[in-house]
């Protein structure tokens, strides 16, 4: 089925409320990276209006909860049916400037996974090389403000290393060291984690264990899929929202068909 047909089918299903009857028992965790119009349409970005359209779609059709709340439900063995979590990776300043105001206006919770040594730095990661003007990171004051507004802040390592390759003491410094830097800056506990690159291969079993031993409640990936009440909290799947989804309705249909 083509994307335009998926969009049309999604509009019909969600417009008529039929999705409620066919929705399964699993929940969804979605991931954004950048929210700006400068890089709109690439694999890591959505435009500002596009982001708001997704958020309004989530608000109308799902129970949008924090990641902590989803974990609580999993620990109690409760259904995750139509529950959805909104997350962000890396710590781009546009998350604070463009995404957070939309979330506040709609009353939606979210989790921001930040790379501790990207914050307030001039670092240009390899995937941003060539983008002009440079895409800035949040300041520590902005991260603190997000936390004070009730948003969750999670760890994403110190320097965005591939935890499928980095092991031992170096991995510990990235995982636990990043957590300690966040907690020192924020003055509060940080117990949520997302591994960089999000691929299944970007995480070893030893590092997964290290994440648990470091005091995190979970580890989320970014290679698609839903979450069940019995999912391993340290192997949680997330759906990246990017240019693959032309509209929120296409996303909704793909999710119903378990093809996200």
Domain ranges of the chain: 3-8+24-256
Q: Class for domain 3-8+24-256, per CATH?
A: alpha beta
pLDDT of 164-191, one tens digit each?
Answer: 999 999 999 999 999 999 999 999 999 9
**Rounded CA gap, 118 and 86, in Å?**
21
Tokens describing residue 81: 């049916």
pLDDT bin (cut points 50, 70, 90) of residue 66 is: very high
Query: Which residue(s) pair with 227 in the sheet?
Result: 27
Residue of 201, 202, 182 lying closest to 190 (CA atoms): 182
pLDDT of 76-98, one tens digit each?
Answer: 999 999 999 999 999 999 999 99
Question: pTM (2 decimals)?
Answer: 0.96
Cβ atoms of residues 254 and 260 within 8 Å: yes
**Percent with pLDDT over 70 in the chain:** 98
């Amino acid at each position: 089925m083509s994307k335009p047909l998926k969009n049309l089918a999604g509009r019909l299903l969600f417009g008529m409320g039929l999705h409620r009857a066919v929705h399964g028992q699993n929940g969804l965790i979605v991931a954004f990276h950048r929210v700006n119009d400068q890089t709109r349409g690439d694999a890591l970005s959505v435009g500002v209006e596009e982001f708001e359209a997704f958020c309004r779609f989530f608000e109308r059709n799902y129970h949008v909860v924090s990641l902590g709340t989803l974990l609580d439900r999993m620990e109690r063995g409760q259904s995750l049916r139509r529950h959805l979590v909104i997350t962000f990776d890396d710590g781009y300043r546009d998350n604070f400037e463009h995404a957070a105001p939309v979330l506040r206006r709609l009353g939606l919770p979210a989790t921001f996974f930040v790379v501790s040594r990207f914050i307030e730095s001039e670092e240009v990661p390899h995937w941003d090389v060539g983008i002009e003007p440079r895409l800035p990171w949040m300041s520590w004051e902005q991260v603190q403000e997000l936390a004070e507004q009730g948003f969750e802040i999670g760890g994403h390592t110190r320097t965005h290393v591939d935890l499928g390759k980095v092991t031992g003491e170096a991995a510990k410094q990235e995982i636990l060291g990043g957590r300690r830097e966040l907690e020192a800056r924020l003055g509060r506990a940080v117990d949520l984690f997302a591994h960089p690159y999000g691929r299944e291969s970007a995480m070893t079993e030893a590092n997964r264990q290290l994440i648990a031993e470091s005091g995190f409640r979970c580890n989320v990936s970014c290679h698609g899929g839903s979450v069940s009440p019995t999912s391993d909290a340290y192997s949680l799947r997330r759906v990246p929202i990017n240019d693959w989804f032309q509209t929120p309705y296409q996303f909704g249909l793909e999710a119903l068909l378990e093809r996200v």
